[in-house]
Amino acid sequence: MWIKKVKLGKRSYDIVVGRNIISSLGACIKKLDIGDHAYIITNSLVKMKYASSITCALKKSGFSSTIREIPDTERSKSIAILSAVINDLAKSDLRKRTFIIALGGGVVGDLSGFVASIYKRGVAYIQIPTTLLAQVDSAIGGKTAVDLKEGKNLIGAFYQPALVFSDVSLLKSLGIRQLRSGLAEAIKYGVIKDKSLFTYLEKWFKDILKHREAALEYIVKRSSVIKADIVSRDEKEEKGLRTILNFGHTIGHAIEAATGFKKYSHGEAVALGMLIAVEISQRLKYTSQGLATRVEALINAAGLPTRISGTSLRSIINASFRDKKFIGSRNRFVLTTGLGKTKIVENIPLRIIEEVLKGRIG
Amino acid sequence: MWIKKVKLGKRSYDIVVGRNIISSLGACIKKLDIGDHAYIITNSLVKMKYASSITCALKKSGFSSTIREIPDTERSKSIAILSAVINDLAKSDLRKRTFIIALGGGVVGDLSGFVASIYKRGVAYIQIPTTLLAQVDSAIGGKTAVDLKEGKNLIGAFYQPALVFSDVSLLKSLGIRQLRSGLAEAIKYGVIKDKSLFTYLEKWFKDILKHREAALEYIVKRSSVIKADIVSRDEKEEKGLRTILNFGHTIGHAIEAATGFKKYSHGEAVALGMLIAVEISQRLKYTSQGLATRVEALINAAGLPTRISGTSLRSIINASFRDKKFIGSRNRFVLTTGLGKTKIVENIPLRIIEEVLKGRIG
């Protein structure tokens, strides 16, 4: 079993990556001494596919478990669902020492992590990501949150899991759109930190879209290493290091918001956001035309969108002002200065952002 | 202005204590560089009395502010109110850098601190406690929470304020029952950590109940020093040091729960819990009969209850099993081994707890 450690002092934890490793889950958790009862939060589809093998693996190591289903939609990241889950958890949590398992994609992971962070002022939790996007990105690093009407992820916590358990065999039934969404985040890691990952993706993206486990395992491992190292150095996004993970996300979030979180998946919006960020980088002479062309070619080949539709320039700009990544009234972008390299630039003239956006709309 | 620092590395903050110091509030906040807009959470009574002088003091230093009222009841510590406040905060928080001010007693402080901890994954907040209980205890140390049907404080966070601003002149209109409630927590500090505070209280408790500012200031300062030092050494109650602050609280909480959080104020329940804890200490030969008599005499003289009514032994025991302070199926009590000294004892025979409780019921 391949292991990458996220080094955070006493909050350190392992990311385990492998194929068909569920049977060893119980033994992995046993070592952590985090409790004896697992409260598993998941959605109905994932439950149907994997709940029995997970509970078996837990039972083998002496853990009892409860399964709590939440609807399989971004709307599950709401205060209403949060409140329902926590009330249910409190009711079922009488005498045993309970920990939480997030079994699912980004929605389940973000909600479950937040539940774990606030229940009894913090109980342990484990991420078992079942989407490519969650395995390469969202399950790692302890960013947890739910949405408000006023914006995505507006309430949450930095709260690290006790373990991230990424079994790429759990990805075999993912739809193509979900694979593409995860691929977008992997492309992000290539652009911001790892030229060789980017060239790997250029060469092998088809294997990923065909669920080839060797390719999936490679990108999950590479992405895990990159994210773990960044999170270790800047857990709470205070030193400007973790900020680079927001590459493509400032405009990406705004596009998601402007289209009501319906038209584009998170990965698709990030793909669009990355294109905008690369083009702004080029406009400001941080990088060459060549890079923009190459990033667009990969995004396009992967079947991710390269043009924005169903919204207007004004809606996107307005939505971006609500984003946490805008500090006060100033803007702040992660740009690239070449494959694997980034630069954080503040107060980019609104005119430039608008011009680049305009070129991608319609 | 008297200042005590809570030392917690980069999360360190000052507790400021004084009389008629509101006019210097703005200058104190200015130094912290935590934002330019104050979102003040308070209740209607406190708002009527102090909101205008607070907003004036803020304005003098260039801070704008918004006031948000919550109902003046423990029920404000609910997910419903939490959700309403956060939605309102998100709506009003557009371009400015916002921090939160908790202006009120324990309910306002616990809720506001929790709002601050989760809004945008954490914004700065300031405690301006307006009850004696909040000044001596709950405003310090970063324990924030709201209640669930299943139990008090079941969701929350350890999240430190940027400043605790205790103006004892704000206590002048407090009712006698609220003063007594704060006095109970001060007695707690005397028993667990400070013999001289205890003897001070024996001598001067009447001055406190008469709102004499010299006496109020003395106990707020002493309690602040004790709590600050404990919190500095064990911020998240992981090392067993902070645990001693729960003296009287295990049974106290159970008594509150068993009486539906209506009959006894928190301080009154803690007074009863302390009596039980001292008697258990004596039964287990950790302390002498003399101490129990002395603690009971002070509690009684202060006008705090010494007998439990309106509930049954069974209800109290059942409620205690739901308490966070019970770890798994074991119990855990903070006992005293003499004035100013404590001992944490686990797995006390239920029979002894029941016998001591029985002697106080009815």
Tell whether A322 is within 8 A of chain B (Cβ).
Answer: yes
Catalytic residue, from A249, A256, A279, A360: name it: A249
| Residue A314 resides in a domain | yes
Clarify whether residues B29 and B118 are in a common domain: yes
- Let me know if B242 is a catalytic residue: yes
Contacts of A324 in chain B (CB under 8 A): 120-121
What pLDDT score does B362 carry?
Answer: 87
Catalytic residue, from B221, B227, B332, B360: name it: B227
What pLDDT score does B265 carry?
Answer: 94
CATH code for the domain in which residue A316 is found: 1.20.1090.10
Give the other-Cβ count within 10 Å of B10's Cβ: 5
Clarify whether residues A190 and A302 are in a common domain: yes
- Let me know if B227 is a catalytic residue: yes
Q: Which of residues 56-95 of B touch A (CB under 8 A)?
A: 79, 82-83, 86-87, 90-91, 94-95
| Residue B48 resides in a domain | yes
Q: What are phi and psi of A45, to 5 degrees?
A: -65, -45
Tokens of B113: 């601190």
**What is the three-class DSSP state of B49?**
helix
Clarify whether residues B144 and B188 are in a common domain: no
| Residue A318 resides in a domain | yes
Tell whether A317 is within 8 A of chain B (Cβ).
Answer: no
Clarify whether residues A206 and A158 are in a common domain: no
| Residue A298 resides in a domain | yes
pTM of the model: 0.93
Q: Which of residues 240-279 of A touch B (CB under 8 A)?
A: none
Clarify whether residues A147 and A197 are in a common domain: no
User: Among the ranges A71-75, A155-159, A331-335, A347-351, which has the highest mean pLDDT value?
Assistant: A155-159
- Let me know if B4 is a catalytic residue: no
- Let me know if B153 is a catalytic residue: no
**What is the three-class DSSP state of B172?**
coil
Clarify whether residues B154 and B186 are in a common domain: no
Burial string for A281-303 (b: 16+ CB within 10 Å, else e) reads: bbbbebbeeebbebbbebbeebe
| Residue A84 resides in a domain | yes
Catalytic residue, from A77, A253, A332, A360: name it: A253
Indicate the residue of A118, A322, A328 with minimum beta-carbon distance to B156. Answer: A118
Mean pLDDT of chain A: 94
What pLDDT score does B318 carry?
Answer: 87
CB A334 within 8 A of CB A243: yes
CA distance B119 to chain A (A): 4
**What is the three-class DSSP state of B211?**
coil
| Residue A231 resides in a domain | no
What pLDDT score does A323 carry?
Answer: 64
Q: A34: nearest CA in chain B? A: B328
Catalytic residue, from A37, A143, A180, A222: name it: A143
Q: What are phi and psi of A32, to 5 degrees?
A: -80, -20
Contacts of B95 in chain A (CB under 8 A): 321, 328-329
Tell whether A351 is within 8 A of chain B (Cβ).
Answer: no
Q: ∠ CA(A241), CA(A244), CA(A247), 5° rounding?
A: 170
Q: Give the torsion through C-alpha atoms of A61, A64, A69, A72, to 10 deg.
A: -10
Clarify whether residues B324 and B283 are in a common domain: yes
Cβ <8 Å between A157 and B155: no
What pLDDT score does A71 carry?
Answer: 96
Q: A35: nearest CA in chain B? A: B328
DSSP state of B81: H
What is A67-126 written as a DSSP string?
EEE--SSGGGSSHHHHHHHHHHHHHH-SSS-EEEEEEESHHHHHHHHHHHHHBTT---EE
Q: At residue A350, does pLDDT exceed 80?
A: yes
CB B155 within 8 A of CB B148: yes
**Last residue within a domain, chosen from B143, B172, B201:** B172
- Let me know if B266 is a catalytic residue: yes
- Let me know if A237 is a catalytic residue: yes
Which residues span the domain enclosing B120?
A: 2-172
- Let me know if A47 is a catalytic residue: no
- How many residues are given for chain B? 362
CA distance A259 to chain B (A): 20
Helix extents (H) in B69-105: 79-92
pLDDT in tens, A283-342: 999 998 899 999 999 999 999 999 999 999 999 998 887 665 554 457 889 999 999 999
What is the Cα–Cα distance from B331 to B348, expressed in whole angstroms?
Answer: 7
Low-confidence ranges of chain B (pLDDT < 70): 94-95, 322-329
- The percentage of residues in chain A with a pLDDT greater than 70, rounded to a whole number, is 97
Mean pLDDT of A88-96: 82
CB B115 within 8 A of CB B86: yes
Clarify whether residues B77 and B125 are in a common domain: yes
Clarify whether residues B272 and B302 are in a common domain: yes
pLDDT in tens, A202-251: 999 999 999 999 999 999 999 999 999 999 999 998 888 999 999 999 89
- Let me know if A121 is a catalytic residue: yes
Tell whether A155 is within 8 A of chain B (Cβ).
Answer: yes
Give the other-Cβ count within 10 Å of B309's Cβ: 11
What pLDDT score does B328 carry?
Answer: 44
Clarify whether residues B43 and B58 are in a common domain: yes
Indicate the residue of A90, A143, A151 with minimum beta-carbon distance to B151. Answer: A90
User: How many domains are contained in chain B?
Assistant: 2
Helix (H) or strand (E) holding B153: strand B151-158
CA distance B50 to chain A (A): 29
Tell whether A321 is within 8 A of chain B (Cβ).
Answer: yes
What is the Cα–Cα distance from A339 to A315, expressed in whole angstroms?
Answer: 31
CB B122 within 8 A of CB B159: yes
Write the Ramachandran bin of B303: left for phi over 0, alpha for psi from -120 to 50, otherwise beta: left
- Give B96's Cβ-side CA count (13 Å radius): 18
Tell whether A158 is within 8 A of chain B (Cβ).
Answer: yes
**What is the three-class DSSP state of B13?**
strand
What is the Cα–Cα distance from A42 to A72, expressed in whole angstroms?
Answer: 9
Tell whether A350 is within 8 A of chain B (Cβ).
Answer: no
Clarify whether residues A105 and A43 are in a common domain: yes
CATH code for the domain in which residue A57 is found: 3.40.50.1970
**Last residue within a domain, chosen from A146, A174, A202:** A174
Catalytic residue, from B68, B143, B152, B180: name it: B143
**Last residue within a domain, chosen from A128, A154, A174:** A174
What pLDDT score does B89 carry?
Answer: 95
| Type of residue found at A165 | F
Tell whether A318 is within 8 A of chain B (Cβ).
Answer: no
What pLDDT score does B327 carry?
Answer: 46
Q: At residue A95, does pLDDT exceed 80?
A: no
| Residue A289 resides in a domain | yes
Q: B87: nearest CA in chain A? A: A148
Catalytic residue, from B193, B221, B235, B246: name it: B246
| Residue B136 resides in a domain | yes
Tell whether B148 is within 8 A of chain A (Cβ).
Answer: yes
Q: What is the ipTM of this complex?
A: 0.90
Q: A84: nearest CA in chain B? A: B79
Catalytic residue, from A37, A188, A221, A266: name it: A266
Clarify whether residues B131 and B271 are in a common domain: no
- Let me know if B211 is a catalytic residue: no
Give the other-Cβ count within 10 Å of B48's Cβ: 11
Query: What are the C-alpha distances in Å from A251 to residues B180, B226, B261, B299, B333?
Result: 55, 49, 48, 61, 53
Cβ <8 Å between B118 and A156: yes
- Let me know if B300 is a catalytic residue: no
